[in-house]
Amino acid sequence: MLTLEGRSVIAAMCVGQLGSLLPHVVVPSILAAFLIPEWHLSGAQAGLLAGSGAAGYMLTVPVLATLTDRIDARKILIAGSAVSALGTLLFGLFATGLWSGALFNAIAGIGFAGAYMPGLKALTDRLAPGDSSRAVTLYTSSFSFGVGLSFLVSQLVAEALGWRSAFLVTALGPLMMLSVCFLLRPVAPKPAQGRLLDFAPVFRNSNAMGFVLGYGAHCFELYGIRTWLVGFWTFVAVRNSEGSLLTPVVVSVLFSLLAMPASILGNECAIRFGRHRAITAVMLSSACVALLIGAFADKSPWLLLPLVLVYAITVPADSGALTSGMTMAADPNYRGATMAVHSTVGFSLSALGAWALGVALDAAGGPSSATAWAAAFAVLAAGILLGPVALYWSRARAPQG
């Protein structure tokens, strides 16, 4: 049973994370309607711009997350939140094209590298070991709620005040996590084991690495659809005037809001039926739904909407189970390092997913072609199918008792 302090820490960190995530999908939210036409971007360039935040994250999270094994993660969380706000602000003020936008988005991603996994470490360091599975799932599922809020605020502000204002407004979000940080009690980490960037013990832990690689497949799919969902639904809405009620704003927010209960339910199924079995079932289902959406890309939005909403459940349903599985499988002395590898793999494939879909769209006729969207969703399906392969590999490598 969680203590009152434990409940308070979980609630505070989940609220703080909503603030951290407010700038998270500003670029994907305004890409189709504002940045692609104004900056004359191809699909591959748009994917590169959207993925630059994940690239900045990927390059710095190995050091920042591993440092949490040596210093209080709260200190890194404070610095990361400040840099995230700065990068978002710089984009709104000074971005003028692909490369300047990618630079400022990467700075925001570097800041988020100091906020997301260090935030998870700050949370788990303040909880009893038995409280971690559901607490981690609540934290990771609040990620999806924060993304939905980011989609909503970004698009509404951009439509009302211009796309630069969307960055200026959302740059205020990380200040909420800063406020939470000052309320957390200090925690002294355990004495450091080994070298700072010694990931060999993590790579030897095949059980944890199965979840890490599965998380990479999940992130490829998740960030791919998050980057291009607004663009896809813009295509659907333009082709079908009767879908005027189903605007990209409505669909993108609904997609993100369903992720929180889906992630919680997925973790509960993992606890009840077995983690590997539940995650594999979710991933196979998600690949099937992606292929169906691609096959019906040129059909009525009222036919596509149920499929997209089912996809909104299957895409994140494995997230909490994968991340909590990783934290439980990690050696306690190398938990920060394991989180670093987990995040590095995940966000590397996030950047790849955003770019790969853009390349598929360009190769198959562009975002105004139903064939191109079928190709893009086939890429998503192929990416998530690598997850069950990774889990099977880790199971085969696990010591037989």
Q: What is the mean pLDDT of residues 375-385?
A: 98
Please give the pLDDT value at position 255.
92
CATH number of 4-180+200-397: 1.20.1250.20
Cα(151)–Cα(154) distance, rounded to whole angstroms? 5
Burial of 239 (0-12, 13-18, 19+ CB in 10 A): middle
Which one-letter DSSP state was computed for residue 33? I
CB 56 within 8 A of CB 181: no
Q: pLDDT band at residue 401, thresholds of 50, 70 and 90?
A: very low
What are the tens digits of pLDDT across the range 291-339? 999 999 999 999 999 999 999 999 999 988 898 899 889 988 888 788 8
Please give the pLDDT value at position 3.
65
- At residue 97's C-alpha, the angle toward residues 344 and 150, to 5°, is 55
- DSSP assignments along 131-182, one per residue: GHHHHHHHHHHHHHHHHHHHHHHHHHHHHHH-HHHHHHHHTTTHHHHHHHHT
What are the tens digits of pLDDT across the range 131-154? 666 677 778 778 878 888 999 999
Domain ranges of the chain: 4-180+200-397
